[in-house]
Every structure is written in structure tokens, then in C-alpha cells.
């Protein structure tokens, strides 16, 4: 075969693959439609200015055809966005800590399941997986395209289960799969005791958890940064919204600061 014909043949074979990869990216108009969805709780939509969901998911490389696992989604803040974005071509899976872990986790799981069953138009294809945080298994090895976790790592550090969780993320992801992490960011040099008391984690600590599990750091973003967060509150990060642990004490001050300064990290499981 002549070189020109060979090149043309290869281009014809590669074009569908490249086109599919490009088409899999969630278009901006789809984000706009979902973020404006009337199924989203008003108090959740009000937090978009702090959590920057579209920019965060774009940074993590969300594709419409991914099999994606969100770890401990709580009340379903990101579920309201991710499940509708993935329902046509992908798969959204909510990973829930086993209800046997305590009453809080039982109530959380029941609430999210009720939320999904009440709205099949958005959540009919969504699935659940339960895990034991001390020996977590999130699915078949190498079966997921992406694992995302939002403001959870500090809880696992408090419970001394963080290394096991990161290893579970690595195990369930395909080679080349993405781990996206958002969490409260401590000042550089904060000690482990500082972390456990305040809820703020150093970026270096989270990176070490991930790289110890086998991941490679692939990117960092300031999408969820908040330079007004001084990180020196007696009640830790829970002083700020949405927790507002001090109630009405200096409430206006903490509302003016807004939600915490957060790291946004993208890790990749090596292809080989």
C-alpha cells in the first residue's frame, strides 16, 4: 500500500475513536441545564458560588460515558449534579459507609436512597455500594473510570482509615483512571494533631496518602480556594458555613468569610 493510502486508512480508523473521546466531554449547555434543575434543593444551589461544581468537574475531566463512584456523598449535594449528567451514557455509583458503622450512617444511607427512589427521572440508573471503612471494597478491581470525594478525607484521618480508603480507590479504578479530591486546606506545616483538631489538611499530607497508594499527582487547581479563610478558629473548620458550629455568635463574620479554603487535586492511576 502506498504511504498516502496507508496514512488515509489509519486516519479513517482513528477518527471515530478521537471523535468519540471528544464527544464524551460534558458540553457547557448540559452543565447549565443540570445546575439550573428544579430537582436541586435550593440550599444546595445556593452553595454553587463556594463549591464551583462545573469548574471542579471539568478539572477532574468528567466524561458523560464514565463509570464514576462518589465516596460518601452525604445528603447528595453532588449526586444531584452527577447522576443526571451520567444517566444517559454513563453510570453514577454512590459509595456509602455501611450502616452498621453507626446510626448517622444508617440515616444518611436511608435518606439518600429515598431521594433517589422519589425521582426516577434523575436517579433510576444510579447505584449504591456499601463499604466497611476499615477494609473497604468499592467494586470489582479495575472497573471504574473515576472516583471523586468531596470534604471527606479529614474524617478518615480522624478515624485512622485514610490509607485503607485510598488503597480502595486505587484498586477499583482502571489503569489511567482519575481520583479527584476536594478538602479543607491547612496552612503548610500543620501537624497531624492540628489536622485532627481543625479539620484542615495539608496538601502534602493528602498527596502522600494518594501516592503511597500508587497514584500519581496529575494536577492541582485553585478553583475552590478562599484566601479570606484564616484557618485559626477555636472550633476548627466547622466554625464556617455550612456548619456554623458557633450558631449566632459572630455569624455575620463567618458568613462574610464564606466556606473553607479548599485544595482541589487530580490523581491518576498509572496505565502500567
Q: What percentage of the chain reaches a pLDDT higher than 90?
A: 85
Above 80 in pLDDT, residue 6?
Answer: no
In terms of Cβ atoms closer than 10 Å to its own Cβ (0-12, 13-18, 19+), residue 39 is middle
> What is the 3 state secondary structure string of 9-48?
HHHHHHHHHHHHHHHCECCHHHHHHHHCCCCCCHHHHCCH
Distance between CA atoms of 270 and 164, rounded to whole angstroms?
A: 19
List Cα–Cα distances, 269 to 22, 24, 77, 90, 248, in angstroms. 21, 20, 26, 20, 45
Q: How confident is the model at residue 21 (pLDDT cuts 50, 70, 90)?
A: very low
Strands 216-221 and 262-268: antiparallel
- The whole-number pLDDT of residue 104 equals 86
pLDDT tens-place string over residues 35-90: 999 999 999 999 999 999 999 999 999 999 999 999 999 999 999 999 999 999 99
Q: How far apart are CA 220 and CA 209, in angstroms?
A: 15
Q: Which three cell numbers stand for residue 42?
A: 435550593
- CA-to-CA distance for 64 and 42, rounded, in angstroms? 25
Q: Are 264 and 224 in contact (CB under 8 A)?
A: yes
Q: Which residues contact 269 (CB under 8 A, 6 or more apart)?
A: 170, 173, 174, 175, 176, 177, 178, 179, 214, 215, 216
Please determine, for residue 3, whether its predicted confidence score (pLDDT) is greater than 60: no
Provide the pLDDT confidence category of residue 202 given band limits of 50, 70 and 90: very high
Coarse DSSP helix, strand, coil percentages of the chain, rounded to the nearest 5 percent: 45, 20, 35
Instruction: Tell me which H or E stretch contains 60.
Output: none
Chain-wide mean pLDDT for the chain?
92
Q: What is the mean pLDDT of residues 163-190?
A: 97
**pLDDT for residue 2:** 46
List the one residue out of 203, 208, 267, 266 whose CA is nearest residue 231: 203
Q: Which residue has the higher pLDDT, 16 or 27?
A: 27
Nearest to 236 by CA among 180, 190, 196: 196
pTM of the prediction? 0.91
Rounded Cα–Cα distance for residues 235 and 181 (Å): 23
Q: How confident is the model at residue 23 (pLDDT cuts 50, 70, 90)?
A: low
35 forms beta bridges with none
Domains and CATH numbers, the chain: 26-230+262-268 (3.40.50.150)
212-245 per-position pLDDT tens digit: 999 999 999 999 999 999 999 999 999 999 999 9
Give the residue-averaged pLDDT of 110-124: 95
Amino acid at each position: 500500500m502506498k504511504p498516502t493510502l496507508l496514512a488515509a486508512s489509519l486516519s479513517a480508523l482513528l477518527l471515530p475513536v478521537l471523535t468519540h473521546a471528544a464527544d464524551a466531554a460534558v458540553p457547557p449547555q448540559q452543565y447549565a441545564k443540570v445546575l439550573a434543575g428544579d430537582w436541586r434543593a435550593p440550599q444546595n444551589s445556593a452553595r454553587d458560588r463556594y463549591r464551583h461544581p462545573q469548574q471542579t468537574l471539568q478539572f477532574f475531566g468528567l466524561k458523560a460515558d464514565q463509570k464514576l463512584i462518589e465516596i460518601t456523598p452525604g445528603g447528595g449535594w453532588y449526586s444531584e449534579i452527577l447522576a443526571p449528567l451520567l444517566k444517559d451514557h454513563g453510570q453514577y455509583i454512590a459509595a456509602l459507609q455501611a450502616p452498621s458503622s453507626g446510626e448517622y450512617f444508617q440515616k444518611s444511607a436511608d435518606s439518600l436512597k429515598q431521594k433517589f427512589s422519589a425521582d426516577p427521572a434523575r436517579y433510576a440508573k444510579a447505584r449504591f455500594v456499601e463499604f466497611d471503612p476499615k477494609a473497604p471494597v468499592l467494586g470489582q478491581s479495575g472497573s471504574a473510570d473515576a472516583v471523586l470525594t468531596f470534604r471527606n478525607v479529614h474524617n478518615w484521618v480522624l478515624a485512622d482509615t485514610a490509607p485503607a480508603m485510598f488503597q480502595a480507590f486505587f484498586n477499583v479504578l482502571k489503569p489511567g483512571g482519575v481520583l479527584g479530591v476536594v478538602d479543607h486546606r491547612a496552612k503548610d506545616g500543620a501537624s497531624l494533631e492540628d489536622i485532627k483538631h481543625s479539620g484542615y489538611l495539608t496538601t502534602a499530607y493528602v498527596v502522600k496518602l494518594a501516592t503511597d497508594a500508587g497514584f500519581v499527582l496529575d494536577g492541582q487547581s485553585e478553583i475552590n480556594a478562599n484566601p479570606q479563610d484564616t484557618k485559626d478558629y477555636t472550633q476548627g473548620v466547622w466554625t464556617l458555613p455550612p456548619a456554623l458550629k458557633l450558631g449566632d455568635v459572630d455569624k455575620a463574620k463567618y458568613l462574610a468569610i464564606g466556606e473553607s479554603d479548599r485544595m482541589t487535586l487530580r490523581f491518576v492511576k498509572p496505565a502500567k
